[in-house]
Chain A
């Protein structure tokens, strides 16, 4: 009878491995399929040309420039706000109903479908504030979207710092902010970085909210570079420019019937997956190093 029960142990071990394999196989199929279809399209021209009606001349220039600029705005929004909120909740917040309210909201916002953020941005940023379908609108939207990720990562990083560090700083007469800025933040930097990178990796692959604000799918120009052109553009004029991003470009190519565009979609997808995965891998690596090195 014992042997029979032990067989169940073994069977479940096998079942677990099989379940993991489903994930591994799917991922492998996805990756290999995109390499077979997309890799031949990857060339310098693919990165340096605008989208085109002719599939073999189309490239992702406007898409990757757009993605990069949107990510700049997203980082500029989400990092200070997320880290600030995380610091407040861990170091400053008194225990009262207001803090509870904020915490409940952070948890809930993490579960709101991303397309709902798109609707918020459409109603508020695009038409409410009149920012239009610009890089600024997209950056702010994605910034709000990844805010909970940054907040949670910041809080976890700060929480792992022993109280003795704070007490030491206070004992030397440092104020709360001096303690936070000179000790708490530097020590939690690696943890915060992992959160920021994971958040950015998510933002760069987000399609739905950016489509919802009305980003165009066909852009054959770049935003004007600062201080160039006639009349010269201001330092931040690019921020109000129309744009497209990598996932939207891929969506556009995927939803066309011609198979030649599907190859472009595979190539764009490959670039996108490599970007997000390497960001995720970097975050995992930093966390791994962190876990190994810190001994308080």
Chain B
């Protein structure tokens, strides 16, 4: 009869197998990273986005995100991958994503300076720069599809209102 005080061998074997499986799973995931295709055509640099916005008269939409931020991933997957939202952004905005990363490889160069410039205090934060207005329009936290649409349409309305105010009146 075995002693009740013995550490069972199966427990040691199981722990060893699980540690090995963990190492292999990590290796496998690093070699086969999940490829996520963005529907939103993010611009490569802020300078490119600013040039394009100046040429087309579109608004710049900045998304401040981080790879360690859970709500950012949910927002990306469920809102930014929504066809209608992505189409609205593609057609009416010049999108640029500012990514903070612990890994460093996928971080946007100079992300900390951009966060400071646009006064970002949490993730995700959406910022729309409005020409002629000192304060950009911002949305902090992960909005749902409805709130995101309202935010984008609000920014477009503010742009249209700004244009009407600055344009010379046609009638005396």
Whether both chains belong to one complex is answered with no
Q: What is A's interface to B at a CB cutoff of 8 Å?
A: none
